[in-house]
Amino acid sequence: MGLFKKHPVAVILSVIFHLALVAFFVFGTDFFSEKKIESKPVVNIVKATVIDESKIKAEAEKLKNLEKKKKLQEKKRLDDIKKKRLAEEKKIADLKQQQNIQKKKLAKQKADEAAKQAKLKKQKALAKKRKAEAVKKKKLADAKKKKERLAREKAEKLKAAQEKVAQEQRNREQALRELAVAEEAEMRAQAAVASYTDLIRQKVERNWIQPPGDITGLDCVVRVRLIPGGDVIDAQVIKSSGNAFFDRSVERATRKAAPLPLPSDPSMFNFFRTLEFYFRPGG
């Protein structure tokens, strides 16, 4: 089969030659044995031989055309295969190119995503750092404010304590001054009371009317309540003489003696609002 594909014409001619040779051996013996009797078969044999050669040529031409057609078909098939192979190679190349483009695109996306993540990470780290710095700054500020507040409160407390001590000192000094003034006023008042008590007793005695009976050695202590101006609103014997008539006469004389003598200084009146004096006729 491989020899026929390579040299189809030669193979066909060889086959025809061998067929002719076989025919010669088969029919050639009879031809020579009957040569004297019949001469016509020779012509027939020649004619047959001519016809066979034309057929062989036609068949050979046919085979040649067939071979040519097959070659053309084979060429077309090979061209088609080549075209398909080229198309497939182009398709594969395009696919590879697309894959490369896709890889580059994915690589770029991956790189962009990595850059984005790196940027986000950097931003987060920066934000975290800023937040930490802000927290630290706030803590320092709060600590500073607290320290200042404590110092201010301490200063205020110290100032308040000093002011309290100073105020207490002023209060003590004021109290001492007031006490001194009061003591001085008390002394002046006692002196005034002693002085004016004697004047009051004298004026009461001038208005006293001796009751009947023996009053020898009688005396009593009278408490009198006054209002500004010296008017008497009450007079009462608080230490009796033992003689009711004598006591009543002294009370009447005290009321009758109003207004009783008082110092001209109004501030001295508080010492004369309630006054006690000793009464004994003739001193």
DSSP letter for 232, please. E
Structural domain spans, the chain: 2-102, 179-279
Residue 53 identity (one-letter amino acid)? E
Token pair 């003591």 in the structure block, residue: 183
Cα–Cα distance, 206 to 281 (Å, whole number)? 10
Q: pTM here?
A: 0.40
Contact 262, 269 (CB under 8 A): yes
CB atoms within 10 A of CB 262: 20
User: Dihedral (C-alpha) 199, 201, 207, 210: value to the nearest 10 degrees?
Assistant: -150
Query: pLDDT by residue for the chain (283 residues), tens digit each?
Result: 665 566 676 767 777 876 777 666 655 545 444 444 444 555 444 444 555 788 888 888 888 888 888 888 888 887 775 888 857 878 825 557 875 528 778 537 773 473 478 376 778 736 377 883 734 789 875 548 888 897 499 859 989 669 897 699 995 999 679 887 778 877 887 888 888 999 999 999 999 999 988 889 999 999 999 999 999 999 999 999 999 999 999 999 999 999 999 998 888 898 989 999 999 988 6
pLDDT score at 28: 57
Contact 215, 201 (CB under 8 A): no
- CATH fold of 179-279: 3.30.1150
